[in-house]
Structure 1
Amino acid sequence: MTDLALSVLDLVPVRTDQTTGDAIRASLSLARVADRLGYRRYWLAEHHNMPAVAATNPPVLIGMVAAGTERIRVGSGGVMLPNHAPLVVAEQFALLEAAYPGRIDLGIGRAPGTDPVTSWALRHGAGGVSDEAVSHFPEYVDNVLAMMEPDGVGLALRGSTHVLKATPAAGSVPMIWLLGSSDYSARLAAEKGMPYVFAHHFSGRGTAEALELYRSTFKPSPELAEPRTFLTVNAAVADSAEEAERLAAPQLLQMVALRTGQQLTPQPLVEEARVRLAEGLAPGHQQLLDSMRSRWVVGDADQARAELEELAATYDVDEVMVNPVGGAVAGTPSDAAPARERTLELLSIGRS
C-alpha cells in the first residue's frame, strides 16, 4: 500500500436521520480526514432528485471542500456535461482553479445522473433537449477545454470573431478527466489524449475492456504524453470483517432499489437495514445484492488493503479512488459519518 495512491469519491449520502445540511457537514468532516491522512484527491459526484444523495452541484461542494482542506486535490466525479451549458462549467471551474491553483480536477461525464423527467427539466431549462445534448458531448468537451485556456476560444458570429473566456486572466487550468461506464468515453478520451476513469464502483463490469481500449488507442496530446487512469471502488472497512459487512448493508440495499426500479428513500441506518434483510428480499434481489457485494471491498483493514492491491495490479493502475459506503448506527450524531471516516483511517495504515 505504500506505492498505491488512494483517493476518495463522495456522493454526499443522506441517511434517514439526516437533513441535507447534516449530510454536507458529515462530508466536510470526511474530506478533512482524507486531507489529514494524505489521500490524493477528493471528488464529488453529480446526481439529481434522489432522496439519498445530496451531491447535486459539484462546483458548489468543491468550493466548500477546498476551503475546508489544505492540500488534497478536489474535483468532480463528475460534472454531467449534457446537463449544462459548456461556458457555465468552464466559468465555474476556472474560478475554482483561480482560487485554489493546482488543486482542482474537472471530471466530465456524459450520463444524466438522474431520472428522465429530472434530466428533461435540467436540460430544457438550458434551452436544449436530452438527445441533442448527449449527441453534442464531444463538441461540448472541446468547448470547455478551449474556454478555460488563457486565450479563450473564438466564436464566429455575423462575420466577426467573438472571444469567449471562462475567466479574465487564467494563470492555470484544472486537470480535466473524462469519466464513463461504457467504452464511449474510453474511445473519446483516447482520441483527445485526455486522462480517463472507468466507473468501476458503479458498473463493475467491462472495466478491463474499457481500460484496454483506452490504452491501446490513446493518442498523445500536448497535455498528456501517455495514458493516465485509475480505478474506483466501493469500500466498507471496519475493525472486523463482520462489522464491515453489517455497515455495508444499507448502501447495498440502496443499490438494489436503484437497479430494480423501487422507490428510492434516504439511506437506512444499519439497524433498519438489518430488519429489511431479516424480512427477506424479493425473488432475484438477493442474487443481485450478492453480485454487487462481490465487486466491493468489504472487510477488516488487512483484508481490504490486500483486495485494493489486487485490484490495482489486475487493472494496472497506481491509484484507487474509494467510495466509502459504510452506514451509520442509531445514535450516531446526525452531522457525522464515523464508519466512512474509519474506512479511510484503516486503509491509510502502513502508507508512507
Structure 2
Amino acid sequence: MPDLALSVLDLVPVRTGQTSANAVAASIALAERADALGLRRFWLAEHHNMPSVASTNPPVLLGVLAGRTHRIRLGSGGVMLPNHAPFVIAEQFAALEAAAPGRIDLGIGRAPGSDPVITALLRSEGHTSDVDAFPNHLRDIEALIGPDGAGLRLATGEEYTVRATPAAAGAPEMWLLGSSDYSAELAGRLGLPYVFAHHFSGQGTERALDLYRARFMPSEHLSAPRTFLTANAVVADSAEEAMRLALPQLQHMARLRTGTPLTALDTVEAAAEARMTPPQQQIVDEMAGRWFIGEAGEVAERLTAFAARFGVDEVMVSPGAAASAGDPIDRVPARERTLELLAARIPQGELAAA
C-alpha cells in the first residue's frame, strides 16, 4: 500500500439519548484513539444550533483535546471567519499553539456554518469580519499569530504593534478551506495550504485543485502547493455491516437536504426501521455511492486510489459510523473501529510527522 497519511474530521455528533457532555466525551475518546494509532491530524468543524452536532466552538474543544492527546496535530476544519473578529481568532489559536507547540492547525472557512438567525446572533455585536474583506482578514490573522505581530499606523502617524500572544515561539499552521473556485484561487494567490471539501458533494474537486495549483504563488511560509482532501468513511468487518452503520448518518443528511426538521442522530436499529420518502431514498443511495463504505481492504484500496487520482498524500476521513442501542452512552465504538481498521491497512508510521 503506497504511503498515505490519514487524518480525522469530527463534528462531535449527538445521537438520541445523549447529552452534549456524552457527545464530547465520545469525541475525546475518538481523538485519543486517533492519536494512539498514529494518525496525522484531528480537526473539528464549526456548526451552530443543530440537534445532532456539538462542535459549536472548535477553539474551546481543541483546548480540551490538547490536554488529552500527545502527538497528533489538532485543528479547526474550520473556523467560519465571517462569524468572528479576526483578532479574537488569532488570540485563541496563538494560545492553543502556546499550550501545544507545533501541534495546532488553523483551518479557516468563509461559510457561516448555520442558518440566517444564528448568523445574525453571532454577528450582533457588529465586530464580525465582513465577507468581502475576507482576504484582508486572512492576511491580518497570519501576521497577528506570528512572533513579530502586526503593525498598525494610528491616525496620529504613530506605529502601533499588535500581537496575538506576547512572546510567540511558533505559530499555528494556517489552512484555507473551501468548496468553490473562489477558495481555490484565493489560497493559491495568498500562498496558503488548501483543503477542498470533497466530502460535501464529491463534485468540483479536480477543477478546484487544478485552479489552486495553477494560481499558486510562493509565500513566506509555503514554497509549493500543499493540499489534501476530505472524505466520508465507514469501515467494518463486512460491507453489509458497514452499510448498516452508515445508514443513520445517510438518512440524516437526506432529511437535511429535503428540509425535514432535524433531530439527534438515530441509532443503527432505529435507522433500519425508518421510512424514507422517494426523494430522500434517492439522496441516500447517491451519497452511499460516493462515500467510502465497506470492509477494510476495499476501502483502503479506494482511498489510496482516490488520493493518487488527485495527487495528494493525505486524506482526512469523517468517520460516519453510528452507534448501536447497546453501545456506551459516552462512546461510539464503530467510529473508533473505522479508524483502527483503516490504520491497520494503511500503516501510518512516520507519516504523521510529515
- TM-score of the superposition, structure 2-length normalised? 0.96
3-state DSSP of counterpart to 2:93: helix
Q: Contact between 2:84 and 2:127, CA under 8 Å: does it hold in 1?
A: no
Are 2:59 and 1:42 equivalent residues in the alignment? no
Whole-Å separation in 1 of the counterparts to 2:134 and 2:262: 29
Give yes or no for contact 2:7–2:42 (8 Å, CA) kept in 1: yes
Between the aligned partners of 1:133 and 1:156, the Cα distance in structure 2 is: 21
Q: 1:322 aligns with which of 317, 330, 335?
A: 317
Distance in 2 (alpha carbons) for counterparts of 1:231 and 1:205 = 12
Residue type matched to 2:30 in 1? L
TM-fit CA distance, 1:310: 1.2
Alpha-carbon offset, residue 116 of structure 1:
1.0
Distance 1:203 1:55 in 2: 21
Distance apart, 1:156 and its partner CA: 2.3
In structure 2, the partner of 1:163 is 161
Corresponding letter in the other structure for 2:301: A
Q: What TM-score comes out, normalization by structure 1 length?
A: 0.96
Alpha-carbon RMSD across the aligned residues, in angstroms, is 1.1
> What is the rounded CA distance, in whole Å, between the counterparts of 2:311 and 2:85 in structure 1?
35
**After TM superposition, which residue ranges in structure 1, 4 or more long, deviate above 4 angstroms?**
none
Q: How many residues align?
A: 346
Correspondence list, 1:164-243, <5 A: 164-243=162-241
Offset at residue 162 of structure 1 (A) = 2.1
Identity %: 60
What's the counterpart of residue 130 of structure 2? 133
Deviation of residue 126 (structure 1)?
4.1
In structure 1, C-alpha distance between the alignment counterparts of 2:198 and 2:125, rounded to whole Å: 31
Shift, 1:187, TM fit? 0.6
CA contact (8 A) 2:78 2:109 kept: yes
5 Å-filtered alignment, 1:19-38, equals: 19-38=19-38
2:277 aligned with 1:282: yes
CA contact (8 A) 1:84 1:126 kept: no
Q: What amino acid sits opposite 1:45 in the alignment?
A: A
Letter of the structure 2 residue corresponding to residue 349 of structure 1: A
- Bigger drift between 89-98 and 142-151 goes to 142-151
SS at match of 1:154: strand
Q: Shift of the alpha carbon at 1:2?
A: 5.1
Alignment partners' CA distance in 2, 1:168 and 1:137: 25
Contact 2:2/2:304 (CA < 8 Å) preserved in 1? no
Task: Give 1:83-98 correspondences, 5 Å limit.
Answer: 83-98=83-98
1:80 equivalent in alignment to 2:80? yes
**Letter aligned with residue 199 of structure 2:** H
Deviation at 1:157, TM superposition (A): 2.4
**Distance in 2 (alpha carbons) for counterparts of 1:258 and 1:109:** 21
2:12 and 2:334 map into 1 onto residues whose CA distance is 14
For structure 2, list consecutive stretches of 5 or more residues without a partner in the other structure: 350-354
Secondary structure of 1:298's aligned partner: strand
Check the 8 A contact 1:85/1:126 in 2, yes or no: no
- Give the aligned residue type for 1:89: I
